[in-house]
Structure 1
Amino acid sequence: MSLDVLSLTRELVAVDTIGHGESDALAVVAPRLENAGFTVEIIEHEPGRGTLVADWHTGLDTPPLCLSGHVDTVPLGGAPWQHDPFRAEPDGDRLYGRGTSDMKGGVAAIVAAASKLAATRPRRAGLRLVLTAAEETGSAGARAAADRLRGRPAGPLVITEPTGNAVLHGHKGALWLSALAGGVTAHGSMPHLGDNAVYKLARAVGRLETYAFDAEPHAVMGAPTLNVGTFHGGLNTNSVPDSAEATIDIRTVAGQDHGSVLASLAERVGDEVRLSPLVDLPPVWTDPADEWAASVAEIAREITGSQDSEPRAASYFTDASVLTPALGGVPTVICGPGEAEQAHVTDEWVSLRKLAESVAILERVCVAWCGL
């Protein structure tokens, strides 16, 4: 069975999955996978927000190769689009629409490659597809599927997030925190009767500007980072605020423990503020010398014609933060047709050439692992 990756990408983009409706997008691909011979299960972590797990010959002696991508997308933004975000209009080599790069194009490549290969019979191993919901807001869909995946035999993992079809060997972790300060309200003309939560939070956040991580920069990922993204306090001008909250975005590197980072930051901000995690996704890293990871990188270079052999990592997080440990710490690479710079932007696009390349890469990787 052969599916056209361009048509499938367009069908997926036409389904609005901005923070909802992932099950509707999965309804586009589930029948095709079932017709190709996959056993399909959809796990909803909330109504209408499903994650698909599809198995094909997963009972062989060698554990199955896992291919994964997410079908949720981010809001369109306030700027007007020149191309309809849900029509996926081709223009030359570019296919425009929300999710074309991040990452319905990568999901379409997975389904197209897997469906084609399902017409054959593996000698060595099968395939497992995990197409997730709610990745953009902290991988809730992957978490919902993780319990079903733990304990099952599992081979390596490919995440088709946007990389321009380059192979990345990992990504930074994401630890997002809420910093909450409390106080006592009073009339703004009598501040001595209150306890100002904004002052408390401001003092704490100010200490973070010069915070230094107790971690050496990673050879490929670089250094961990910290950014205070929001700061809110009070309800009106003429009252002493009794509550204030900031949010903090920390990107960690391989070797850092999030529990230790949180403890260090709590000590830094002091007792006036309470820190609590909003998103807690660890970094992911596979040694580029790993035999399987090296073979995938070589396949990608051959198909794309790239001469770049330097190991690379992503600054963004992926569902690998959840799936890689759930699968037992398997070797993991990130390689997909989208462009990282197109993620979340107005008039997002993906290259038609790179969509075709992605299918070819995935086919070769699957053939090598499955023994087709």
Structure 2
Amino acid sequence: MMMSTGEGAAPTTLTVVSLDLTGDLIALFRQVVDIESVSGNERALADEVEIALRQLPHLRVARDGDTVIAKTELGRAERVVIAGHLDTVPVAGNLPSRLVGDVVYGRGTADMKGGVAVALAAAAALTEPTRDISWIFYDHEEVEATLNSLTRIAAERPDWLAGDFAVLMEPTAARIEGGCQGTMRFTITTSGLASHSARSWLGHNAIHDAAEPLARLAGYQARVVEVDGLTYREGLNAVGIRGGIAGNVIPDSCQITVNYRFAPDRDVAAAQAHCREVFDGYQVDFVDAVAGARPGLDLPLAAEFVAAVGGTPTGKLGWTDVARFAALGIPAVNFGPGDPGKAHADDEFCPVADLHSCYQGLLRWLG
């Protein structure tokens, strides 16, 4: 089958693989992995997903750019959102996929085409779910937040994201990770006076002055805090340093870039206030910041999800798009196949057992 690319694209064509959503789950997974979809190049996979979902009569399918949404409309009392991003980080010689024993290797196997494959298979299987479901497959998650299609959709089509509870199929080794941490970056700038390095006493070395804020970072004791029964470990770390004019000039400026990962009991304002307190006396300039999300596992719908999929939930140590749903008033968790520690690794992989575990968990919950 051949088809044209979406509205606004160049008039090119692509060969459609035609994903089989009702066949072997591992075969589907490898098909999804083998359609390269590095951020900005999701169209071919989005086309495949759209075609496959439109063949299911129990779903109403819509598309915005390279985001595809499929919804049941059965008039159930509650609506669940299940979402996963189609894009990956750049390929590193790790496509096509390889099946070695009970493990599939390849770019995106952990982050997060396993979750995409599970969601596609479950979307086909759950023809009469106990709750209405919105299946969302979106683009540009692995790049800056302004490009993430959920940013645009939340602003322009918030009804697409509406629901009572959301599950992000991010890799969690088939365990529930509730909420997520917030994250921010800021810079600390020290100022000096430039001079010739042969007459250094005539200047003031701004790089040397960076030693004191670096010492504060080295001695910082990060919080380990419990939020709604889950534990989150914070982190405050230098992630970059810049300074210097030339090899024979005393530098007049030095800038340290710091990343703060904070528990979801703090909003952005409280997190910024804490950073200013830690670096009192220094110029602190915030570059970007996004809030985290509380777990929301105390809700009856969430408790039923935990009971259905099993295991003991833990706090998400990192930021994910659950925060976008939390900002819309929708409690959300992370639950998907693959080891998050292998996300973006050259030897990225996903155990076959994780795929089956997540698929069966969704069917027990919503079937």
TM-score by length of 1: 0.80
Alignment map for 1:1-372 (pairs within 5 Å): 2=22, 4-36=24-56, 37-43=59-65, 50=66, 52-58=67-73, 60=75, 62-75=77-90, 84-117=93-126, 120=127, 125-135=132-142, 137-138=144-145, 140-141=147-148, 142-150=150-158, 153-181=162-190, 185-192=194-201, 194=203, 196-212=205-221, 216-218=225-227, 219-287=229-297, 289-301=298-310, 308=311, 310-326=312-328, 328=329, 330-367=330-367
1:217–1:292 distance in 2 versus 1, CA, 3 Å: closer
Once the two structures are superposed, residues 58-83 of structure 1 have per-residue CA deviations (whole angstroms, 9 ceiling, x without a partner) of: 58363531111223323567xxxxxx
Point out which structure has higher relative CO (alpha carbons under 8 A, 6+ apart): 1
Q: Provide the rounded CA distance (Å) in 2 between the counterparts of 1:180 and 1:4.
A: 56
Q: Post-superposition shift, 1:214?
A: 8.0
Aligned twin of 2:17: none
SS in 2 for 1:189: helix
1:353–1:19 distance in 2 versus 1, CA, 3 Å: same
SS in 1 for 2:336: coil
Which amino acid in 2 is paired with 1:299?
A
SS in 1 for 2:198: coil
Contact 1:17 1:73 in 2 (8 A): yes
Q: Provide the rounded CA distance (Å) in 2 between the counterparts of 1:2 and 1:336.
A: 19
Gaps of 5+ in 2: 1-20
SS in 2 for 1:171: coil
Aligned residues: 342
Which amino acid in 2 is paired with 1:100?
T
1:264–1:324 distance in 2 versus 1, CA, 3 Å: closer
Q: Provide the rounded CA distance (Å) in 2 between the counterparts of 1:66 and 1:240.
A: 56
Q: Provide the rounded CA distance (Å) in 2 between the counterparts of 1:235 and 1:30.
A: 53
Q: Post-superposition shift, 1:150?
A: 3.3
1:19–1:54 distance in 2 versus 1, CA, 3 Å: closer
SS in 2 for 1:86: coil
1:21–1:236 distance in 2 versus 1, CA, 3 Å: farther
Contact 1:139 1:319 in 2 (8 A): no
Which amino acid in 1 is paired with 2:84?
G
Aligned twin of 2:12: none
SS in 2 for 1:110: helix
Q: Post-superposition shift, 1:89?
A: 0.9
1:208–1:338 distance in 2 versus 1, CA, 3 Å: same
Q: Provide the rounded CA distance (Å) in 2 between the counterparts of 1:363 and 1:318.
A: 24
Which amino acid in 2 is paired with 1:134?
E
Which amino acid in 1 is paired with 2:320?
T
SS in 2 for 1:284: coil
1:90–1:207 distance in 2 versus 1, CA, 3 Å: same
1:182–1:150 distance in 2 versus 1, CA, 3 Å: farther
1:115–1:188 distance in 2 versus 1, CA, 3 Å: farther
Gaps of 5+ in 1: 44-49, 78-83, 302-307, 368-372
Contact 1:15 1:86 in 2 (8 A): no
**Once structures 1 and 2 are overlaid, which stretch shifts more, 222-231 or 211-220?**
211-220
Q: Looking at secondary structure, tell me which structure has more strand per residue.
A: 2
Once the two structures are superposed, residues 211-258 of structure 1 have per-residue CA deviations (whole angstroms, 9 ceiling, x without a partner) of: 456885545224422122222222432223344332222221131122
Q: Provide the rounded CA distance (Å) in 2 between the counterparts of 1:235 and 1:26.
A: 47
TM-score by length of 2: 0.81
Q: Post-superposition shift, 1:87?
A: 0.7
1:38–1:2 distance in 2 versus 1, CA, 3 Å: farther
Contact 2:325 2:332 in 1 (8 A): no
Q: Post-superposition shift, 1:19?
A: 4.2
Which amino acid in 1 is paired with 2:235?
T
Once the two structures are superposed, residues 152-173 of structure 1 have per-residue CA deviations (whole angstroms, 9 ceiling, x without a partner) of: 6422101111122122222322
**Percent of matched pairs sharing the same residue:** 25
Which amino acid in 2 is paired with 1:324?
A
Q: Provide the rounded CA distance (Å) in 2 between the counterparts of 1:181 and 1:144.
A: 38
Q: Post-superposition shift, 1:11?
A: 3.0
